[in-house]
Amino acid sequence: DAGVIQSPRHEVTEMGQEVTLRCKPISGHDYLFWYRQTMMRGLELLIYFNNNVPIDDSGMPEDRFSAKMPNASFSTLKIQPSEPRDSAVYFCASSLTGTLRRAADEQFFGPGTRLTVL
Amino acid sequence: KNEVEQSPQNLTAQEGEFITINCSYSVGISALHWLQQHPGGGIVSLFMLSSGKKKHGRLIATINIQEKHSSLHITASHPRDSAVYICAGSRTQGGSEKLVFGKGTKLTVNP
């Protein structure tokens, strides 16, 4: 398996534009996580899905952010409109299960998308 | 106060030295994960601990549940160990279980 795939790897956009980040989880993994990493706040969970259903979106910063998982092999994170404070690295991760206390529930991270909003 | 606190924030060592990175966590955290973030940005899971100790090569992770403290040790450190090491706690809230992260420890091992 190629691992978790994210695209694009880098995105530079202007304030007010719509940004769509994409993720393909590892085949067979039931859980998909979206994280954001900034220098100030470190890694933060934005939202996660189980079997394509959003389970916890309490980390989504505001209504400008939305995430979908239309099928088991694809998820998107959309920001509309984007703002400079959204600049960060966005990681997607997947795991076999969501019970994080078991070693089998190791999360596999994608390479991340570095977003710069000017 | 953050749920997961790491120390030190930055650490510089000479090749061959023994390294310790510490992580303290709050009530409600049921397991600890150690992650490694390479200079290129990729993140890899190293360990998951809910008790005791785990070892993988030159890396050792321990956890003390009573003291709510975990440590990551690197023996015979090497420049290729240079990375950011992140401690993350597994927390259940509102029926969902998720990771909360420390700010990371940037390790630089000089040859």
> If you write DSSP's letter for every residue of A2-40 in order, what string do you get?
---EEE-SEEEE-TT--EEEEEEPPTT--EEEEEEEETT
Residue of B nearest to A49 (CA): B96
Residue B16: pLDDT above 90? yes
- Tell me the chain B residues in contact with residue A55 when contact means C-beta distances shorter than 8 Å: 96
Chain A and chain B share a number of CB contacts under 8 A equal to 57
Residue of A nearest to B29 (CA): A101
CA distance A34 to chain B (A): 11
- Tell me the chain B residues in contact with residue A93 when contact means C-beta distances shorter than 8 Å: 43
Structure tokens at B3: 């749920």
Residue B93: pLDDT above 80? no
CA distance B16 to chain A (A): 29
* Overall average pLDDT of the B52-56 stretch: 93
* Overall average pLDDT of the B43-48 stretch: 92
* Overall average pLDDT of the B8-13 stretch: 96
Percent of chain B exceeding pLDDT 70 equals 97
- Tell me the chain B residues in contact with residue A100 when contact means C-beta distances shorter than 8 Å: 31, 33, 48, 90, 97-99
pLDDT of residue A104: 46
pLDDT of residue A99: 60
- Tell me the chain B residues in contact with residue A43 when contact means C-beta distances shorter than 8 Å: 86, 88, 101
User: For each of chain A's 118 residues, which pLDDT tens digit applies?
Assistant: 689 999 999 999 999 999 999 999 999 998 999 999 998 889 999 999 989 999 889 899 889 999 999 999 999 999 999 999 999 999 999 988 756 555 446 889 999 999 999 9
Q: What's the CA gap between A62 and A56, in Å, rounded? A: 14
Q: What's the CA gap between B33 and B45, in Å, rounded? A: 7
Q: Are the beta carbons of A56 and B98 separated by less than 8 Å?
A: yes
pLDDT of residue A98: 59
Q: What's the CA gap between B63 and A51, in Å, rounded? A: 32
pLDDT of residue B98: 83
To test the contact with chain A by mutation, choose from B29, B33, B43 the residue with the greatest count of A C-beta atoms within 10 A, namely: B43
The residue count for chain B? 111
Residue A70 preceded by cis peptide, ω within 30: no
Q: Taking the CA of residue B4 as centre, how many other CA atoms within 13 Å lie in the half-sphere pointing to its CB? A: 28
* Overall average pLDDT of the B22-43 stretch: 91
